[in-house]
Structure 1
Amino acid sequence: MSRLPQPNLKRKAVDDLDGPGTSKLPALGSSTSQPTRPTRTLAGKGHPPALTVPRAPLLQTTNITTTRPGAKQRAVSAPPKSSGPVRGPQRVPAATSKAAPPTKGSSSLQPVQEDGRWIEVQEQLHGMQAAQKNDRETLRAEMAAERAKREELERFHRTLEQDLVTARSLEQESRRAVNVASDELDRLKKKHASELMDFELAQTRLERENRQLKDDVRVLEDDLRREKDTTRSLKETISQQSTAHVTLTAQITALQSQSGAVVNELDAVRAHAADLLSQLQKEKARADELEHDLLEAETLRRKLHNMVQELKGNIRVFCRVRPALPSDGSPSNTGVEVASIAYPDKRDHKEIVLSSSSESAMGAERKETWQFSFDRVFEPHSSQADVFEEISQLAQSCVDGYNVCIFAYGQTGSGKSFTMEGGASREMQGMIPRAVEQVFRTSEHLRSKGWEYKLEGQFVEIYNETINDLLGSGEFDKKKHDIKHDKGSTRITDVVVVPLNSPAQVASLLSLAQSRRSVAATLMNERSSRSHSVFTLRISGSNAMTGETCDGALNLVDLAGSERLNASGAGSDKERLRETQSINKSLSALGDVIAALGAGGASGEKGHIPYRNSKLTYLLQNSLSGNSKTLMLLNLSPLAAHLNESLCSLRFATKVNNTTLGTAKRQIKSS
Structure 2
Amino acid sequence: MSASFTSSLPTMASLKRGLIIEPDDDQELIQPSKLPTIAEAGTGRPIRPLGQNISATNASSTRRLGIGPPPLTKPRPPALSGPPPSITTRAPRATSAPPKSSAPRSISQPVSLTRSAGVRTVSGPQKIIFSGIAAHDFRFQTSHSQTQVRSIPSSRTAEDARLAAEMDAERTKVAALQAEHLTRAHELATARTQETSQRRELISQNDELEALRKWHARELLELEEDARRHEDELRDVSADLAATREHLERERKATESLKEALAQKSATQISLQSQNSAMHEQLAALRAANDGTAETVSTLRLDLEAARRRVDELEVEAREAEMVRRRLHNMVQELKGNIRVFARVRPLLSSDVPGADDEKARMAALANMAFPDSRDHREIVLSSTSESATGQERKEAWNFSFDRVFEPQCTQEEVFEEISQLAQSCTDGYNVCIFAYGQTGSGKSFTMEGGSTKETVGMISRAVDQVFQVTEELKRKGWEYTLEGQFLEIYNETINDLLGKGEFDKKKHEIKHEKGSTRVTDVVVQQLGSPAQVRSLLAVANKRRTVAATLMNERSSRSHSVFTLRICGTNTHTGQVCEGALNLVDLAGSERLNASGAGKDKERLRETQNINKSLSALGDVIAALGEKSEKSDKHIPYRNSKLTYLLQNSLSGNSKTLMFLNLSPLAAHLNESLCSLRFATKVNNTQIGTAKKQIKSTS
Provide the TM-score with structure 2 as the length reference: 0.59
> For 2:683, what is the secondary structure of its paired residue?
helix
Q: Percent identity?
A: 71
* 1:617 equivalent among 629, 640, 644: 644
Query: Quick check: 1:636 aligned with 2:671?
Result: no
Farther off after superposition, 513-522 or 661-670 = 661-670
1:471-486 maps to which residues of 2 (within 5 A)? Answer: 471-486=499-514
Partners of 2:603 and 2:558 lie apart in 1 by 11
Partners of 1:590 and 1:248 lie apart in 2 by 109
Partner of 1:384: 412
Partners of 2:473 and 2:269 lie apart in 1 by 71
Partner of 1:257: 280
Partner of 2:426: 398
Partners of 1:492 and 1:265 lie apart in 2 by 75
Partners of 2:425 and 2:297 lie apart in 1 by 49
Which residue identity does 1:427 align to in structure 2?
Answer: E
1:648-659 maps to which residues of 2 (within 5 A)? Answer: 648-659=675-686
Distance 1:246 1:499, change over 3 A: farther
Partner of 1:118: none
Query: Quick check: 1:594 aligned with 2:617?
Result: no
Partner of 2:561: 533
Partners of 1:521 and 1:264 lie apart in 2 by 92
Query: Quick check: 1:328 aligned with 2:352?
Result: yes
Partner of 2:325: 301
Post-superposition offset of 1:248: 7.2
Query: Quick check: 1:562 aligned with 2:586?
Result: no
* 2:335 equivalent among 293, 311, 314: 311
Gaps of 5+ in 1: 1-242
Post-superposition offset of 1:264: 4.7
1:158-557 maps to which residues of 2 (within 5 A)? Answer: 250-259=273-282, 261-262=284-285, 263-264=287-288, 266-267=290-291, 270-271=294-295, 273-330=297-354, 334=358, 335-336=361-362, 337-557=365-585
Partners of 2:665 and 2:390 lie apart in 1 by 29
Farther off after superposition, 535-544 or 468-477 = 468-477
Deviations 1:523-578 (CA, angstroms, capped at 9, x unpaired): 21111111100001111111121100011111000000112333322222222222
Deviations 1:216-267 (CA, angstroms, capped at 9, x unpaired): xxxxxxxxxxxxxxxxxxxxxxxxxxx9999776544323333454425752
Partners of 1:245 and 1:585 lie apart in 2 by 120
Is 2:341–2:404's contact at 8 Å kept on the other side of the alignment? yes
Which residue identity does 1:609 align to in structure 2?
Answer: I
Partners of 1:364 and 1:258 lie apart in 2 by 116
Partners of 2:332 and 2:356 lie apart in 1 by 52
Partner of 2:45: none
Farther off after superposition, 286-295 or 639-648 = 286-295
Partners of 1:605 and 1:246 lie apart in 2 by 113
Post-superposition offset of 1:273: 4.8
Post-superposition offset of 1:423: 0.8
Is 2:575–2:697's contact at 8 Å kept on the other side of the alignment? no
Partners of 1:570 and 1:244 lie apart in 2 by 123
Partners of 1:609 and 1:369 lie apart in 2 by 34
> For 1:571, what is the secondary structure of its paired residue?
helix
Which residue identity does 1:591 align to in structure 2?
Answer: G
Post-superposition offset of 1:367: 1.3
Is 1:339–1:640's contact at 8 Å kept on the other side of the alignment? yes
Partner of 2:635: 608
Deviations 1:103-135 (CA, angstroms, capped at 9, x unpaired): xxxxxxxxxxxxxxxxxxxxxxxxxxxxxxxxx
Partners of 1:384 and 1:325 lie apart in 2 by 16
Distance 1:670 1:617, change over 3 A: farther
Which residue identity does 1:365 align to in structure 2?
Answer: E
1:15-34 maps to which residues of 2 (within 5 A)? Answer: none
Partners of 2:403 and 2:271 lie apart in 1 by 90
Is 1:469–1:477's contact at 8 Å kept on the other side of the alignment? no
Distance 1:244 1:433, change over 3 A: farther
Partner of 2:228: none
Partners of 1:332 and 1:441 lie apart in 2 by 41
Partner of 2:158: none
Is 1:601–1:609's contact at 8 Å kept on the other side of the alignment? no
Is 1:476–1:516's contact at 8 Å kept on the other side of the alignment? no
Which residue identity does 2:683 align to in structure 1?
Answer: V
Is 2:350–2:356's contact at 8 Å kept on the other side of the alignment? no
Deviations 1:75-103 (CA, angstroms, capped at 9, x unpaired): xxxxxxxxxxxxxxxxxxxxxxxxxxxxx
Is 2:485–2:564's contact at 8 Å kept on the other side of the alignment? yes
Partners of 1:462 and 1:446 lie apart in 2 by 35
Partners of 1:670 and 1:492 lie apart in 2 by 25
Distance 1:504 1:245, change over 3 A: farther
Is 1:454–1:539's contact at 8 Å kept on the other side of the alignment? yes
> For 2:696, what is the secondary structure of its paired residue?
coil
Distance 1:371 1:257, change over 3 A: same
Partners of 1:310 and 1:281 lie apart in 2 by 44
Partners of 1:248 and 1:577 lie apart in 2 by 120
Partner of 1:124: none
Post-superposition offset of 1:392: 0.6
Is 2:379–2:400's contact at 8 Å kept on the other side of the alignment? yes
Deviations 1:482-524 (CA, angstroms, capped at 9, x unpaired): 1111111111111111111111111111111111111122121
Partner of 2:693: 666
Deviations 1:307-330 (CA, angstroms, capped at 9, x unpaired): 010011110101111100101123
Distance 1:670 1:261, change over 3 A: closer
Distance 1:460 1:244, change over 3 A: farther
Deviations 1:588-608 (CA, angstroms, capped at 9, x unpaired): 111121222223359x96321
Which residue identity does 1:419 align to in structure 2?
Answer: T
Is 2:629–2:687's contact at 8 Å kept on the other side of the alignment? no
> For 1:669, what is the secondary structure of its paired residue?
strand
Post-superposition offset of 1:339: 0.8
> For 1:480, what is the secondary structure of its paired residue?
coil
Is 2:566–2:582's contact at 8 Å kept on the other side of the alignment? yes
Partners of 2:321 and 2:441 lie apart in 1 by 46
Post-superposition offset of 1:358: 1.8
Report which of the two structures shows the higher radius of gyration computed on alpha carbons.
1
Which residue identity does 1:355 align to in structure 2?
Answer: S
Partners of 2:643 and 2:471 lie apart in 1 by 29
Which residue identity does 1:255 align to in structure 2?
Answer: A
Partners of 2:289 and 2:530 lie apart in 1 by 60
> For 2:599, what is the secondary structure of its paired residue?
coil
Distance 1:245 1:465, change over 3 A: farther
Which residue identity does 1:573 align to in structure 2?
Answer: D
Is 1:601–1:608's contact at 8 Å kept on the other side of the alignment? no
Distance 1:665 1:249, change over 3 A: farther
Partners of 2:603 and 2:405 lie apart in 1 by 36
> For 1:536, what is the secondary structure of its paired residue?
strand
Partners of 1:292 and 1:245 lie apart in 2 by 72
Which residue identity does 2:465 align to in structure 1?
Answer: E
Post-superposition offset of 1:269: 6.2
Which residue identity does 1:620 align to in structure 2?
Answer: L
